[in-house]
Amino acid sequence: MNFDRRTALQRLGAAALALAAAPLARHGLAQSGYPSRPVRLVVPNPPGGVLDVLARAVADPLGKQWQRPVVVENRPGASGLIGADVVAKAPPDGHTLLMTVTAVVQTPYMYAKPPFDPLRDLAAVTQLCSTHMVLAASAAGPRTVAELVRQAREKPGKLTYGTYGKGTGSHLYMEVFGSASGAELTHVPYKGEAQIINDMLGGQIALGTLSPMTVRQHLKSGKIVPLAVAGSSRAPLLPEVPTFQELGYQGLSGPAWFGLFTTGGTPAAIVEKISADVGAIVNAPALTQRMADLGLIARTSQPAAFAALARNDQAFWSAVIRKYDIRLD
């Protein structure tokens, strides 16, 4: 992790401490009786990443508001399924929460027998933020998407692109792009962004799917060139980079999101309380700005709206998974 990214993560943590000291509304704590004991906040990723840092930034002020500990529990593995399964099978009382990403409505459909149904066994609480996937090229790679498509058509399979792994959101985006553009590209799965960057800088791969913050850190050197971003709007950290939609490629307008879930069947009153309390924390100016420094756009929602988003994304991505026969088992 380079200095800029480390500094931004530290500042996000500092914003959480500032929020913890501020007075927060109680939203009927006494009347609802929730929470009646410590709350588990499961993160299906290892410690230290952006999702983990955001979880801790929310957990600390939330615990002070509720006067109950909110304990972050990292349960990585199986592309996020292990952590999500813990929440899906917990008692439906709101005391076990899941902070996760779009993959929760993608990954289960890459298995013949998924351990849970995200739309049935998880209750949507609130979206937290959205971000963008950036398709970038190495110094020796194409300079524009048009040039990329031309090269890929002339020499099918020669251009390689790195993603965070098989079946991840970035891989699915690139499958959609390849189909929409007619560009035949070769997928190289990695375990993380740092490895993608290293191989792009070293010339081992021509293209990579990266976060806006990482791309911005390499703009001045010219060794990483952003070509396009997924989503319906441009990335705030990269305002000069067009969206795939602007370039005429459909199916890539949905941004990746971070969201909060609890166990399916949890009473609506508890779900709504969690949504309101977490939304107030996320939308506080200090945390919103620190999220922006990481390329995250704060965007909370009511439970029903977030559930609708999850359903729509599940329908779209499960069709993509079937079409390209992407399997993890």
List of residues 6+ apart from 76 with CB closer than 8 A: 44, 45, 46, 82, 83
The predicted structure's pLDDT at residue 4? 54
Same domain, 68 and 171: no
Same domain, 43 and 103: yes
Same domain, 217 and 262: no
Q: H or E segment at 285? A: helix 285-293
Same domain, 80 and 111: yes
pLDDT band at 220 (very low <50, low <70, confident <90, very high): confident
Instruction: Using the 3D structure, point to which of 194, 229, 264 is the last residue of a domain.
Output: 229
Sign of CA dihedral 254, 260, 265, 267: negative
Instruction: Using the 3D structure, point to which of 229, 247, 270 is the last residue of a domain.
Output: 229
- Cα–Cα distances in angstroms (integers) from residue 244 to residues 183, 256, 306, in the given order: 14, 14, 24
Does 236 reside within a domain? no
The predicted structure's pLDDT at residue 29? 42
DSSP string, 2-57: -HHHHHHHHHHHHHHHHHHHS----SSHHHH---SS-EEEEESS-TTSHHHHHHHH
Does 209 reside within a domain? yes
The predicted structure's pLDDT at residue 21? 43
Same domain, 23 and 122: yes
The predicted structure's pLDDT at residue 28? 43
Does 243 reside within a domain? no
Least confident span in 47-56, 123-132, 148-157: 47-56
Same domain, 116 and 143: no
Length of the chain: 329
The predicted structure's pLDDT at residue 95? 98
Residue 17 scores a pLDDT above 50: no
The predicted structure's pLDDT at residue 199? 97
Instruction: Using the 3D structure, point to which of 161, 195, 229 is the last residue of a domain.
Output: 229
The predicted structure's pLDDT at residue 298? 96
CATH code for position 211: 3.40.190.10
Q: Kindly state the average pLDDT of the residues 229-254.
A: 94
Closest CA to 260 of 131, 122, 136: 122
The predicted structure's pLDDT at residue 74? 96
Does 317 reside within a domain? yes
Same domain, 100 and 75: yes
Q: What is the mean pLDDT of the chain?
A: 90
The predicted structure's pLDDT at residue 8? 52
Does 246 reside within a domain? no
Same domain, 8 and 105: yes
Does 250 reside within a domain? no
Same domain, 189 and 260: no
Structure tokens at 99: 């902070």
Does 87 reside within a domain? yes
Same domain, 80 and 225: no
Order across the sheet with 134-138: list the strands: 186-189, 160-163, 207-210, 134-138, 224-229
pLDDT tens for 274-329 read 999 999 999 999 999 989 998 999 999 999 999 999 999 999 999 999 999 999 98
pLDDT band at 191 (very low <50, low <70, confident <90, very high): confident
Same domain, 111 and 149: no
Q: Kindly state the average pLDDT of the residues 241-247.
A: 97
pLDDT band at 24 (very low <50, low <70, confident <90, very high): very low
- Look at the chain and report how many structural domains it folds into: 2
List of residues 6+ apart from 322 with CB closer than 8 A: 109
User: Structural domain of residue 282, as residue ranges?
Assistant: 3-130+255-323
Contact between residue 52 and residue 72 where contact means Cβ atoms under 8 Å apart: yes
CATH code for position 305: 3.40.190.150
pLDDT tens for 97-149 read 999 999 999 999 999 999 999 999 999 999 999 999 999 999 999 999 999 99
pTM: 0.85
Q: Which tops the pLDDT comparison, 215 or 14?
A: 215
Residue 2 scores a pLDDT above 80: no
Structure tokens at 259: 């969201």
The predicted structure's pLDDT at residue 13? 53
SS3 breakdown of the chain: % helix, strand, coil, rounded to 5?
45, 20, 35
Does 282 reside within a domain? yes
The predicted structure's pLDDT at residue 12? 59
Same domain, 260 and 125: yes
Least confident span in 28-32, 186-190, 252-256: 28-32
